[in-house]
Amino acid sequence: MFRTFVQGALLVVLGVAIGLRLPEISAEQRESRRPPLPTMEQLPAEVAQLRALLPSNSHIMMDVQFHWTNWQLAQYYFNESRGHIQWLIRKSPTIRNQAEGKDVDISGIFDGIDTSSLAAVKTAIEAKDSAQFASSYKTMLESCYACHKSVGRPYIRPMIPTAQTQAIVNMDPAASWPE
pLDDT tens column, 87-146: 999 999 999 998 999 999 999 999 999 999 999 999 999 998 989 999 999 999 999 999
Judged by average pLDDT, the poorest of 8-22, 41-55, 71-85, 117-131 is 8-22
Give the C-alpha separation, 101 to 96, whole Å.
7
Q: What are phi and psi of 154, to 5 degrees?
A: -65, -15
Whole-prediction pTM value? 0.60
Residue 38 is predicted with a pLDDT of 87
Asked if residue 88 lies in contact with residue 62, where contact means CB atoms within 8 angstroms, the answer is no
| The pLDDT of residue 118 | 95
Tell whether the model's pLDDT for residue 24 goes beyond 70: no
User: How would residue 10 be classed by pLDDT, with cut points 50, 70 and 90?
Assistant: low
The length of the chain, given as a count of residues: 179
* pLDDT interval class at 155 (50, 70, 90): very high
163: pLDDT strictly greater than 80 = no
**Residue 7: band (very low, low, confident or very high) from pLDDT cuts 50, 70, 90:** low
Whether the pLDDT of residue 12 is over 70: the answer is: no
How many whole angstroms separate alpha carbon 64 and alpha carbon 168?
10
Residue 89 neighbours by CB under 8 Å, 6+ apart: 106, 107, 110
Cα(63)–Cα(81) distance, rounded to whole angstroms?
Answer: 7
State pLDDT tens for residues 26-68: 666 666 677 888 889 998 998 998 888 888 888 887 777 766 6
Give the dihedral of Cα atoms 118, 122, 124, 127; nearest 10 deg: -170
Torsion of CA 104, 106, 109, 114, to 10 degrees: 180
Contacts of 3 (CB under 8 A, 6+ apart): none
Pairwise pLDDT comparison (7 vs 99), residue with the higher score: 99
